[in-house]
A and B are shown apart, each in its own frame.
Chain A
Amino acid sequence: MSAPSDELLAHHKLDRAEYARIEEILGRPPNLVELGIFSVMWSEHCSYKSSKIHLKKFPTSAPWVVCGPGENAGVVDIGDGLVAVFKMESHNHPSFIEPYQGAATGVGGILRDVFTMGARPVALLDALRFGDPAQPRTRHLLGGVVAGIAGYGNCVGVPTVGGECTFHRAYDGNILVNVMCVGVARADRVFYARAAGIGNPVVYVGAKTGRDGIHGATMASAEFSAADTSLRPTVQVGDPFTEKLLIEACLELMERDGIVAIQDMGAAGLTSSSFEMADRGGTGIELDLDAVPLREAGMTAYEIMLSESQERMLLVLEAGREAEAAAIFARWGLDLAVVGRVTDTGRMVIRHGGRVVADLPVAPVSGASPVYDRPATPPAAPRPLDPAFLPTGDDARNSLLRLLGSPDLASKRWIFEQYDWLVGADTIVPPGLGAAVVRVHGTNRALALTTDCTPRYCAADPREGGRQAVAEAWRNLVAVGARPLAITDCLNFGNPERPPVMGQIVACIEGMAEACRALDFPVVSGNVSLYNETEGRAILPTPQVGALGLVEDVDRLVRLDAAREGDLLVLVGECTGWLGASLFLREILGREEGAPPPVDLAVERRNGTFVAAQIAAGRVRACQDLSDGGLAVAVAELCLAAGTGATLLPVAAQDPTGWLFGEDQARYLLAVEPAGLAPLLEAATAAGVPAAEIGGLGGDALTLGRCPPISLAALRAASEGWLPSLMGERAAG
């Protein structure tokens, strides 16, 4: 190839410096197939070139971590000879272009990342961020994304048990669809993606390869412009039925020996799967594209290598095991083809039509992608709330009802009832009650799962926001009686080539890393989604956390709906009435300002450890972490879950608005049997943890101090009404 045109390079999202580096690596100009391969392998999506140096700041190990970042998913020990395998991934750009298929294939992709490691997927969670609910497009996107997640997850038979869904106009042009999958495997049966054994066959299984999704990974690494709806052909189409067959066939094959390596064909398809397997194994691969099962005739080598057709996997088998594997896949009605073999050359040699169409050194393509230390402007310190500004607004009763019916807090029943959250018959704590809890099949253990991030905190103070996202996830796990083990993340930001955005990325990562270290809560997997901006307007920084904890004995877990009339309410943690960057400020007063509540990680750990001990001692019937909307919202949610009213004692000498709606961190609301109160408070004193009885449960209304009571029916109507009404329906039940 002679010197490529600017247009050709732009199409491949490579700059001149990167092109020069390619020529230097090869000692010659690349041909078009090779250029396409470099383009996807060096895309932000595959290479993490803008974030790599910062991702190294995360703690990634702990005694219970079996496998940290770098493989298809993270692996942690959950006892009984079992491991949990989990990861979260973004499918933001495709979901904006075509919400149903974008979200559906997001689910498909993350499932493959998990079962590729030998784990049966047991739970899905989805963290969704949409734009202004008043925009008609938001309804279209929300409806499509939810239907896509449902269409895929329900069919494959993996329960969708939790997640988040919030709204802000900053996501008008770039929604976020972050999908987390959790699987369970035997500890001695975890599979990795390291091609080894010279001469071993490289085997392709699953759906045929078509022309869909070519350059999806490069698309996921670009900003949108208004004209980009023309990108629709790069969005893949999912087939959950084939995925279900693929799961069963792969897990069946994994029951036997014979798999050396296995990797799903996700972003950048055959290219990334083959290069990554060879790179991790320190080997080479010869690929024969004439053997690849194709959906349509006349596909070029370029198209075959870059196709992102879904539901495909690449395996390395022990030589001689091909027939056995083929029989299993045939039984499930799936294609299997030997498409190459492992070599010791360290090169990827690709043949098509009997000709060598690409011959590249593996390590530089996979491992020597450019790494950028992009200039970052440290975020400006947030301006604290003007002390002279005292929120007045509505009375507490009206404020609470408005908050419960606000987009971020309103019940997401309309969403989660479209998901089969119970298939598998192990979902103990269903969606809508804090962290979800899924029993480890056939055992007395369970996994507690949550997704968390508060983008408005991250926007106001990225470092504090990063800390808070991790701390809130940790709290949510503690609150069901789980031992927090590890997190996965999806780091969603705008264009990293803009220093203020890079500043947010660096600060959020550093904040998260501090919290992970302080809470022994390492990062074991994740992904990065940059360029989430349209015409120069970036999303709120959204370092999404997905977290996993272990419930050692399902009989000891606590759940919100277990609280009952007569229980006493105890508030754990210090209340300063912090209203900066609070939901109250935004939803009731229409002001997005102030610093977010500071996260004192030592206090988080101390308070969480205390709460965990009280739960373990059997003194707690229900536990709720305090977050958006503060104490009043936490009590209201507890009432709605338990189906009983509550009374909060009037608090003297305190700003009632801050007391009720402030968002101080490291706090929990406990429902305690009366007999448990005294020992609990004594233990709190001994541990130096602030804890106070603040009221009790009973009746059919919530009374906040001196405010008139709010009936449970009114609370429920406020909470349940908003989303169905947005989507043009009446609330169910």
Chain B
Amino acid sequence: MRAAVITFPGSNCDRDLAVALETCLGQKVARVWHADRELPPVDLVGLPGGFSFGDYLRCGAIAARAPIMAAVRRHAERGGYVLGICNGFQILTEAGLLPGALVRNAGLRFVCRTVRLAVANRNTPFTSAFGAGPVAIPVAHHDGNYVIDREGLARLEGEGRIAFRYLDNPNGSVADIAGVLGPRGNVLGLMPHPERAVDPLLGSEDGRPLFASLLAAA
């Protein structure tokens, strides 16, 4: 599986995501600059965590309008995989590639801790390799409180597009939502950081099945 990671000004998990992808996919990952207009030929595009454009205006709002995002949109429309983690998730909602929005945590503070997640739908290209039990993956965000209107939530629930739910909700997200899929199932946004959970030295390898799922899907 060929993958690319986009760097926006203020991205700070771009290296971590590239390293995790290279570890789990066994292949060099292309690095793409936000001002580029084309993606290299890849199967997966990763939008990393961080504070793109300083989180000024709204988290992800400015990055969602970066030149590269038109190419990301075309890639998604072609059925290519898109993975947005943390700030990447915020960018995908701001770009309209995922429904809903991420607002300030209910506790109003940044929170960095390992949380337990339930894999809510194991029948997706991002989750097929997960087992049945809960997984432990770190979160680190100030604006991870997922909100969506009632109809939108019903649609997500009905279409099996909630990929992950918090078992100990750290941010007040509606329906404990930690990650959601786009309408075609090829775009995933999630607040937890699977790329920080691929190395036993860091305390958890529970992020690996996400990348293994993608490898199997390609």
| Interface check A674, CB cutoff 8 A | no
| Interface check B190, CB cutoff 8 A | no
- B12→A423 contact, CB < 8 A: yes
- A147→B109 contact, CB < 8 A: yes
B16 to chain A: closest CB distance in Å?
4
* Of the residues B19, B54, B56, B138, contact of A422 by C-beta under 8 Å: B138
| Interface check B50, CB cutoff 8 A | yes
How many contacts between A and B, using CB within 8 angstroms? 82
Q: Which residues from A are CB-within-8-Å of B113?
A: 417, 732
In the complex, A245→B10 CA distance in Å? 7
- A419→B54 contact, CB < 8 A: no
- B13→A423 contact, CB < 8 A: yes
| Interface check A150, CB cutoff 8 A | yes
| Interface check A332, CB cutoff 8 A | yes
- A154→B13 contact, CB < 8 A: no
B177 to chain A: closest CB distance in Å?
20
Known contacts A240-B51, A422-B138; A156 and B12 CB within 8 A of each other: yes
Of A198-206, A424-432, A503-511, A651-659, the segment with at least 4 beta carbons within 8 Å of chain B is A424-432
Find residues 406-424 in chain A having any chain B CB closer than 8 Å to their own CB: 416-424
Find residues 122-171 in chain A having any chain B CB closer than 8 Å to their own CB: 147, 150-151, 154-157
- A154→B201 contact, CB < 8 A: no
- A733→B196 contact, CB < 8 A: no
| Interface check A64, CB cutoff 8 A | no
In the complex, A423→B12 CA distance in Å? 8
Known contacts A423-B16, A425-B16; A418 and B112 CB within 8 A of each other: yes
Q: Which residues from A are CB-within-8-Å of B10?
A: 155, 241, 244-245
- A425→B12 contact, CB < 8 A: no
B197 to chain A: closest CB distance in Å?
9
| Interface check B206, CB cutoff 8 A | no
Q: Which residues from B are CB-within-8-Å of A333?
A: 9
- A155→B199 contact, CB < 8 A: no
Known contacts A155-B10, A156-B12, A157-B12; A422 and B51 CB within 8 A of each other: no
Question: How many chain B residues touch the partner (CB < 8 A)?
Answer: 32
0/1 interface trace, chain B 1-26, chain A, CB 8 Å (1 if under): 00000000110110110011000000
- A240→B54 contact, CB < 8 A: yes
0/1 interface trace, chain A 456-469, chain B, CB 8 Å (1 if under): 00000000000000
| Interface check B111, CB cutoff 8 A | yes
0/1 interface trace, chain B 125-150, chain A, CB 8 Å (1 if under): 00000000000001010100000000
A732 to chain B: closest CB distance in Å?
8
- B53→A241 contact, CB < 8 A: yes
| Interface check A439, CB cutoff 8 A | yes
| Interface check A78, CB cutoff 8 A | no
In the complex, A349→B9 CA distance in Å? 37
| Interface check B168, CB cutoff 8 A | yes
Q: Which residues from B are CB-within-8-Å of A729?
A: 107
| Interface check A113, CB cutoff 8 A | no
* Of the residues A154, A156, A242, contact of B140 by C-beta under 8 Å: A154
In the complex, A439→B110 CA distance in Å? 24
In the complex, A428→B196 CA distance in Å? 11
| Interface check A554, CB cutoff 8 A | yes
* Of the residues B15, B56, B107, contact of A241 by C-beta under 8 Å: B56
Q: Which residues from A are CB-within-8-Å of B196?
A: 422, 425
0/1 interface trace, chain A 264-291, chain B, CB 8 Å (1 if under): 0000000000000000000000000000
- A150→B12 contact, CB < 8 A: no
Q: Which residues from A are CB-within-8-Å of B201?
A: 428, 439, 554
| Interface check A239, CB cutoff 8 A | yes
A473 to chain B: closest CB distance in Å?
24
- A422→B12 contact, CB < 8 A: no
Known contacts A239-B54, A240-B51, A333-B9; A418 and B199 CB within 8 A of each other: no
* Of the residues B20, B55, B112, B193, contact of A155 by C-beta under 8 Å: B55
In the complex, A423→B17 CA distance in Å? 11
| Interface check B94, CB cutoff 8 A | no
Chain A: CB-nearest residue to B111: A417
* Of the residues A155, A418, A420, A554, contact of B109 by C-beta under 8 Å: A418
Q: Which residues from B are CB-within-8-Å of A147?
A: 109
* Of the residues A239, A423, A425, A430, contact of B199 by C-beta under 8 Å: A425
0/1 interface trace, chain B 182-207, chain A, CB 8 Å (1 if under): 00000000000101100101110000
Task: Known A-B contacts: A147-B109, A417-B112. Give 9 more (CB < 8 A).
Answer: A155-B51, A241-B9, A245-B10, A419-B112, A421-B112, A422-B138, A422-B193, A425-B20, A729-B107
A–B pairs, 25, beta carbons within 8 Å? A154-B51, A154-B140, A155-B12, A155-B51, A155-B55, A157-B12, A157-B50, A240-B51, A241-B10, A241-B53, A241-B55, A241-B56, A242-B54, A244-B9, A244-B10, A417-B111, A418-B111, A420-B112, A422-B196, A422-B202, A423-B16, A423-B140, A424-B15, A425-B196, A428-B201
Closest 3 CB pairs of A and B: A157-B12, A241-B54, A425-B16
